[in-house]
Amino acid sequence: MSEYIEHNHNGISVGLVEKKFYTLAGPPDELVLASGARLGPITVAYETMGTLNGDKSNVILVTHALSGDSHVAGYYSADDPKPGWWDTMVGPGKGIDTDRYFVICSNVLGGCMGTTGPSSPNPATGCPYGLDFPVVTIGDMVKVQKALLDHLGITKLLAVVGGSIGGMQVIEWTISYPEMVASAILMATTTRHSALAIAFNEIGRQAIMSDPNFNKGNYYSGPKPDLGLALARMVGHVTYLSDEAMRSKFGRRLQDRDNLAFDFDANFQVESYLRYQGSKFVQRFDANSFLYISKAADYFDVGLQHGHDSEVDAFAKATAKIFVISFSSDWLYPTYQSRDMVKAMKKNGLDVSFCEIEAKCGHDAFLLPNERQSTLINRFLNRVSEEEHDAL
Amino acid sequence: MSEYIEHNHNGISVGLVEKKFYTLAGPPDELVLASGARLGPITVAYETMGTLNGDKSNVILVTHALSGDSHVAGYYSADDPKPGWWDTMVGPGKGIDTDRYFVICSNVLGGCMGTTGPSSPNPATGCPYGLDFPVVTIGDMVKVQKALLDHLGITKLLAVVGGSIGGMQVIEWTISYPEMVASAILMATTTRHSALAIAFNEIGRQAIMSDPNFNKGNYYSGPKPDLGLALARMVGHVTYLSDEAMRSKFGRRLQDRDNLAFDFDANFQVESYLRYQGSKFVQRFDANSFLYISKAADYFDVGLQHGHDSEVDAFAKATAKIFVISFSSDWLYPTYQSRDMVKAMKKNGLDVSFCEIEAKCGHDAFLLPNERQSTLINRFLNRVSEEEHDAL
């Protein structure tokens, strides 16, 4: 559930990156999904930053949240107005220092930013999948990331790093491919979606599916369910902020200074903000991808899927050094959920660090510039990097 | 923002009530609203329970929340399956004891349960007002209640009692008609809507206005914006519950026991619950009324409207004995908002009692059976009643 952060590039062409594509090979070009369905071929869009070292020991995989993509940081060109979604954290000399580490980020399975998803052509028909795209899980997304790493000849990750739905992918990595993961950094995430989180996602999905343009998901050749997707995004934005953040950001400030308009236009700034966020989102995101990625998040339940309904058992095979970060005002994935997962990890004797960062801005805090978070992540990576080096 | 509570009537015809109507008289049958618009004639639907005593000193006005109506308690007939929305609190021997007090409750201006609102005929056209209905405020709603009391010959209220948007009306009463209000009970309410509360209301309104059946509010002769109104209600229901309430009520329980369906039907019980609540609501509520009442709540700002932007100044004229109740898990109108209003009242030397009730069920707590709340309200009313009697 990421939010793009806008930065002025000032015309300086630093951190140029390129979007690349890899199509999973191997007969019959199909991946068996958690549902049992088969899907293929699958193309993965990914980007890299930094330089892979000789023994390939400096790889960090960054995973993205609902609305993110492979463009984690840097610019596509010298006149690109906006860097990637986590440019405040990833880059030369930053928290995740690309002078030192080789960062990979790929668009998730089911997405709409280059990786195969519901808007991709269905090889059986030549038309976009729409709802014929199979429901995918966080585990399926991670399987595709694993295939990409295999293709790149990478067998070990110094770290997997992600927040929100990206954090779920990190958890999945520590459990499904423990031998590949030296360390893991999870921010503002949960091991299983609460009823509250499911409820908000379901409202978003209902908004999309209620839009008359939705047409059972087959809208690619006609008008799109923009109103529904905008509503879903508005709901999302409220859950990413906190009561306190909204109070300081908007309060009861009016669009027209002191005058109540006595109509149903956006009178308050918060109304205008939400309408703007909704209308901006529909320009870059596919409504079906919202359905699939939000559903994957709702289905995520690490105890059920990996531990016979025990969260402690789920982490039995994990070996990574883990750093869990929560934010005090995040009410979507509150701190108590992070504490619970830390407990489950510790019961397995894992090397786990935990930090709740005081932040007023709610769930979105992990994406915003945050000195404390950058420092903590930088130190953790340095420690792990040194320990891995010493162990060789 | 009330929720009907279902109770078994068991065939016993206790507490039979009747819906009555009063149309405000006086040339030119128009009320000047806060916006400056004129509206008339206005019909008010109201119900009473208990017996008015000789000196008319036992009157309690109950105000209702978003989806409530005049039917506060009791049954319309012996075979009526369901009592009024606050039957757990109002009735013979109950917290608000109708053996002792004469209770009046009327449907709010802008509503759709008998009082004039956007679904009422516009005398200028003979057709329903739709969006030609003027935007009304909490103050306008209270003005209409005052006119009803004038008609009934009641000059003094022993108490005004209400929760949520009903609580806003209570606050308005203490400020606009201090000489009429001996005491006031406010539950789960606020003196001004936060950005968070406005945001959720705006999402609901956008859902309704995005529905293609909305037709700029002129849908009365055709299909109604049911999908939009259902979405608005789903959003509302999430805000009325708490994280904890949803966890214990639904958790991650599936409709189909242990099996993920891998589709976009309602897999989780919480999804099914929300869809059901949405579809049930559209059978009894008018989408335009949702727009108007939610807007009135958003506009409510007691400091701005009565105190030159000072909440303390707003209560300068109030004289009522006030009892403020908040609920620990209410995140729509959190306890800190109640504490703030109590401070503002106390700075005016008002006789204010405050209680935060520990409750897991969120904002809706004030409507649910709650022994503690009933006892507290009962004691407060008895105290005020005795003190008023002694003062005579």
Please answer whether residues A322 and A354 qualify as being in contact, where contact means their C-beta atoms are separated by less than 8 angstroms: no
CA distance A173 to B35: 58
Nearest to residue A175, comparing CAs of A66, A310, A67, A52? A310
Residue A1, pLDDT above cutoff 50: no
Nearest to residue B20, comparing CAs of B76, B96, B86, B59? B76
Does residue B273 form part of some domain? no
User: Which of these ranges, A214-228, A244-258, B281-295, has the smallest mean pLDDT?
Assistant: A244-258
Q: Which of A87, A226, A301, A330 is catalytic?
A: A330
CA distance B365 to B240: 8
DSSP for A258-273?
Answer: T----SSS--BHHHHH
* The pLDDT value given to residue A206: 96
In this complex, do A209 and B249 lie within 8 Å of one another by their Cβ atoms?
A: no
In this complex, do B131 and A264 lie within 8 Å of one another by their Cβ atoms?
A: yes
CB-based contact (8 Å) between A250 and chain B? yes
B93 vs A9, which has greater pLDDT? Answer: B93
Q: What is the mean pLDDT of residues B244-256?
A: 90
Q: In the numeric block, which tokens belong to residue B269? A: 């019980």
Residue A3, pLDDT above cutoff 90: no
Residue A70, pLDDT above cutoff 70: yes
In this complex, do B243 and A196 lie within 8 Å of one another by their Cβ atoms?
A: yes
Nearest by CB to A252, which of B195, B231, B264?
Answer: B195
Nearest by CB to B199, which of A198, A203, A274?
Answer: A274
Q: Where are the beta strands (DSSP E) in A328-377?
A: 352-357
CB-based contact (8 Å) between A223 and chain B? no
* The pLDDT value given to residue A6: 30
Nearest by CB to B210, which of A227, A247, A268?
Answer: A227
Give the CA dihedral A205, A211, A215, A216, nearest 10 degrees.
Answer: 20
CATH of the domain at A366: 3.40.50.1820
> How many beta carbons lie within 10 A of that of residue B174, not counting itself?
25
Chain B: residue nearest A133 by CA? B263
Q: Where are the beta strands (DSSP E) in B245-330?
A: 321-327
Element (H, E) at B355: strand B352-357
- CB contacts of B256 in chain A (<8 Å) are none
Report CA torsion sign: B37, B43, B49, B53. Answer: positive
* The pLDDT value given to residue A15: 54
Does residue A200 form part of some domain? no
In this complex, do B266 and A202 lie within 8 Å of one another by their Cβ atoms?
A: yes
User: If DSSP codes are grouped into helix, strand and coil, which group holds residue B278?
Assistant: helix
In this complex, do B238 and A334 lie within 8 Å of one another by their Cβ atoms?
A: no
In this complex, do A331 and B331 lie within 8 Å of one another by their Cβ atoms?
A: yes
B299 vs A258, which has greater pLDDT? Answer: B299
* The pLDDT value given to residue B255: 85
CA distance B230 to B235: 9
pTM of the model: 0.93
Mean pLDDT, chain B, integer: 92
* The pLDDT value given to residue B164: 98
Q: Residue B326: which domain range?
A: 20-192+301-391
A 132-151 residues with CB below 8 A of B? 134-135
Band of pLDDT at residue B15, cut at 50, 70 and 90:
low
DSSP for A151-219?
Answer: HTT---BSEEEEETHHHHHHHHHHHH-GGGBSEEEEES--SB--HHHHHHHHHHHHHHHHSTT-GGG--
Chain A: residue nearest B251 by CA? A195
- Indicate if A363 belongs to the active site: yes
User: Residue B322: beta bridge partners?
Assistant: B184, B352
CB-based contact (8 Å) between A275 and chain B? yes
* The pLDDT value given to residue B259: 80
Does residue B116 form part of some domain? yes
Does residue A228 form part of some domain? no
Computed on alpha carbons and rounded to an integer, the radius of gyration of chain A in Å comes to 21
Q: What is the mean pLDDT of residues B236-248?
A: 92
Pairs of residues, one from chain A and one from chain B, whose beta carbons lie less than 8 Å apart: 151
Q: Which long-range contacts (CB under 8 A, 24 or more apart) does A20-24 make?
A: A20/A45, A20/A46, A20/A47, A20/A48, A21/A45, A21/A46, A21/A114, A22/A46, A22/A148, A22/A151, A24/A144, A24/A147, A24/A151
User: If DSSP codes are grouped into helix, strand and coil, which group holds residue A338?
Assistant: helix
Write out pLDDT tens, residues B113-129. Answer: 999 999 999 999 999 99
* The pLDDT value given to residue A27: 52
Number of domains making up chain B: 1
Residue burial A203-219, b: 16+ Cβ < 10 Å; e: rest: bbbbbbbbbebbeebeb
Within 13 A of B54's CA, how many CA atoms are on the CB side?
Answer: 1
Band of pLDDT at residue A22, cut at 50, 70 and 90:
confident
> How many beta carbons lie within 10 A of that of residue B306, not counting itself?
22
In this complex, do A274 and B203 lie within 8 Å of one another by their Cβ atoms?
A: yes
In this complex, do B299 and A260 lie within 8 Å of one another by their Cβ atoms?
A: yes
Residue B3, pLDDT above cutoff 70: no
Write out pLDDT tens, residues B183-234. Answer: 999 999 999 999 999 999 999 999 999 999 999 999 999 999 999 999 999 9
Chain B: residue nearest A195 by CA? B251
CA of A130, closest CA in chain B: separation in Å? 12
Does residue B173 form part of some domain? yes
Return the residue in A136, A205, A210 with the most chain B beta carbons within 10 A, the one to mutate for interface testing: A210
* The pLDDT value given to residue B391: 83
Mean pLDDT, chain A, integer: 92
Does residue B236 form part of some domain? no
Nearest to residue A229, comparing CAs of A279, A276, A272? A279
Element (H, E) at B346: helix B335-346
User: Which of these ranges, A5-14, A74-83, B281-290, has the smallest mean pLDDT?
Assistant: A5-14
- The CA-atom distances, in angstroms, between A132 and each of A1, A37, A206, B262 are 24, 11, 18, 12
Cα B186–B60–B16 angle (5° rounding)?
115
Write out pLDDT tens, residues A31-67. Answer: 999 999 999 999 999 999 999 999 999 999 999 999 9
Does residue B215 form part of some domain? no
DSSP for B62-112?
Answer: EE--TT--S--SSBSSTT-S---TTTTTEETTSSEETTT-EEEEEPPTT-S
Q: In the numeric block, which tokens belong to residue A156? A: 């070990």
Chain B: residue nearest A207 by CA? B231
CB-based contact (8 Å) between A203 and chain B? yes
In this complex, do B206 and A231 lie within 8 Å of one another by their Cβ atoms?
A: yes
In this complex, do A250 and B134 lie within 8 Å of one another by their Cβ atoms?
A: no
Return the residue in A270, A273, A288, A336 with the most chain B beta carbons within 10 A, the one to mutate for interface testing: A270
% of chain A surpassing 70 pLDDT: 95
CB-based contact (8 Å) between B236 and chain A? no
Element (H, E) at B203: helix B195-210
In this prediction the ipTM stands at: 0.91
Does residue B341 form part of some domain? yes
CA distance B34 to B38: 9
